Amino acid sequence: MTDTITLNDGVKIPAVGFGTFLIPADGSTYKAVRAALDAGYRHIDTATAYYNEEEVGNAVRDSGILREEIFITSKLWVSHFGYERALMGVERSLRKLGMDYMDLYLLHQPYGDVAGAWQALEEAKKAGKIRSIGVSNMTVKIWNACVPHFATMPSVNQIECNPLAQQKEIRKIMAAGSVKAECWGPLGQGNRTLLENQTIRAIGEKYGKSAAQVILRFEVQEDMITLPKSANSERIRSNLDIFDFTLADDEMNQIRALDTGKPSHNPDAPGVGEYLISHYPIND
Ligand code: A2P
C-alpha cells in the first residue's frame, strides 16, 4: 500500500497514482488499470480528454476492490467550461466512469470561463459528487489571474514537474494556500537525459533502486503527488516500490540542484487554449 498525503480539505490521497494519458480506449486502458490495481496502486488519474474514463471505471469495478479503497481523479475539459456546461461535464464524467462520486476532479486546462467552471465544481463538491477539487497547468501568471477570484482554494494544481523542471515558483505560491502539487510527466516523459542522469543513478546505486524510483521518491519526499505512466507491467510495479527507502537531506539537495527551470510545456504561450480545444474535441 502506498503512502498518503493529506489535502487542504482533509481528504487523503495516495502519493503515487497511475497516469492514463495517451493509453487508448481499445482495451489497453482496461488492461493497464487492472495491472496497476493488481500491482497495488490505489489511485488512478484519468480525464475527459483522455477518452478512457469508461475503461477506467470498468477496470475498477472488475478488480473486486472496494470503490472506497481506490482514489479516482478525472478532469473537466475546456469545452465544458462555464458554469452550466461544467455541471454537465461533471455528470458526463460520472456517467462514463459509472460511479456516483469522484475523489478528485480538476479543471484540466486554464482557458476560457475558468471562474464559472470552478463555481460548478464547488457546487458538485457540496452535493457529494466530488470529494476534492483542483486545477491543472496553472503557471504563476495564470494562478494570479484566476485563483484570487475563487471562493475556495483548490486542493491541488497538477503541473508538469520532474527533477529537471521543478516548478519552484508556482509551488511556493501554492504552499501558501496548502495546495499540493501533482506531477504529470514525473519521469520527464521518458526523457533519457533525466533517466540517465549520473547524480540520480549514483544515488539509486546506493539504495539498490533505479533512476526512476529515485526520481519518484524525490517527488514524494518533496510532498508532491506523482503520476508515473507505464505500459510495461514490470515498470508499473517498480514505480510503486519506493516506500522502503528514504533520500537523505544532502541527496535531496543534489537533486534539487538539477532544476533547469524549463518545463517542456508552456501554458502561458499564446494560442495554447485554442490548440487544445481543436486537437482534443469532446462532442457529447
Ligand atoms: P514505458 O511505458 O515503456 O514504461 P511520464 O510518467 O513522465 O510521462 O513518463 C512516461 C514514460 O516513461 C514512458 O515512455 C514510459 O515507458 C517511461 N517509463 C515509465 N516508467 C519507467 C521506468 N521505471 N524506467 C524507465 N522508463 C520508464
- Per-residue model confidence as pLDDT tens digits over 27-70: 999 999 999 999 999 999 999 999 999 999 999 999 999 999 99
Interval 97-142: pLDDT, tens: 999 999 999 999 999 999 999 999 999 999 999 999 999 999 999 9
Question: Angle CA(181)–CA(55)–CA(281) in degrees, nearest 5?
Answer: 70
Grid coordinates given for 21: 494519458
| Residue 1 pLDDT greater than 80, yes or no | no
**Residue 158 near residue 137, CB atoms below 8 Å:** yes
Q: Which of 30, 41, 50, 111 is catalytic?
A: 50
Q: Which residue from 45, 216, 230, 236 has its CB within 8 A of the most atoms of ligand 1, so it is best to mutate?
A: 230
As given in the structure block, the three cell numbers for residue 179 are 495546495
In short, whether 201's Cβ falls inside 6 Å of ligand 1 is: no
Q: Which of 28, 187, 192 to mutate to test the pocket of ligand 1 (most atoms within 8 A of CB)?
A: 187
User: Of all protein residues, whose CA lies closest to atom 26 belonging to ligand 1?
Assistant: 190
From CA 264, how far away is CA 230, in angstroms rounded?
A: 19
- How much is the CA Rg of the chain, to the nearest whole Å? 18
186 lines ligand 1 (CB under 6 A): yes
In 3D space, the residue among 150, 101, 108, 107 whose CA is nearest the CA of residue 125 turns out to be 101
Interacting residues of 191 by C-beta distance below 8 A, sequence separation 6+:
162, 164
State if residue 157 touches ligand 1 by the CB under 6 angstroms criterion: no
Mapping DSSP to helix (H, G, I), strand (E, B) and coil, where does residue 12 land?
A: strand
50 is catalytic: yes
Residues 281 and 284: their CA atoms lie apart, in Å, by: 9
